[in-house]
Amino acid sequence: MGVPQSTSQEKLSGEEVAKRASAAMIRIVFYVVLYVVVAAVIQWVFTSFLLQLMDYITYVQILLAIAFGYLIVSGVASFFYWSMRVKYDHATAAAIRNVVRIIGIGALVAAIAGGVAGGAAGVALGGFIGMVIGFACQQVLGQAIAGLFLLIARPFKIGDSVNLAGEDGIVDDVSTLFTTIIKADNVKVLIPNNSIIGSKIYLKPKSK
C-alpha cells in the first residue's frame, strides 16, 4: 500500500505511527478473511450452479489468489513500513517496505505456480520458479538490501562531500537502489548501492 505524500516526510508521533501500523495489520487480517470467504463462495457457486464450467474454476482461483495475494503482500509491506517509522525516517522505512514487497511477490508467484501444478510436481515447479525469480531479481534485491544497510548505518548523508566507488561529488539522494551524487561539473551520477557496500567510502572535509 502506498504512503500519502503529506505523511511521507513529516515527523510523526509514536502514537500516530502505532495507529497506522495497527491499521495496516487490520487490513492484512481483513484481506485474508475476505479471500477465504470469496474463495469458498466461488467454490460453492461452481459446484452448485456451474458444473458445466468446472474446468474453468482453476483459472478463477488463480486470478483470485493473485489479486488478494498482492493486496496481502502490500499490506504486510505497509505494516513493516509503519513499524520501522517508530525508529527510522521515511527513506529507511520505505527501503524496508520495498524489499519486503519484492520478496513477497516472488514468494506469491512461486506458491501459486506450485499450487497449480500440485503434488510433487508442484513442489518442484514452485521451487524452480522461486530459483528463477531469485536469480532474475538477484541484482535488484542485492542493491535494495545494500541501500537498506546504507540508510540504517548512515555512513554518509545528503550534502556530504564523498568519494563513492571512485566517483567524487556531493551526495544528492540515497534511495533503495541508487545513491545519487553531483560532481563538480554538475553531472549527476547514480551509483548502485551494492557497489558502494563493496568498496571504500571516503568522506571529505567540508569546505569552509
Taken in order of first residue, the domains within the chain and their CATH numbers are: 10-136 (no CATH), 161-204 (2.30.30.60)
CA atoms within 13 A on the CB side of 72: 18
pLDDT average per 10 residues of sequence, the chain (208 residues):
49 68 84 88 83 78 85 86 74 80 80 62 55 58 72 82 87 81 90 82 77
Report in angstroms the alpha-carbon separations of 191 from 6, 34, 165, 172, 173: 28, 43, 8, 11, 10
Question: Would you call 164 helix, strand, or coil by DSSP?
Answer: strand
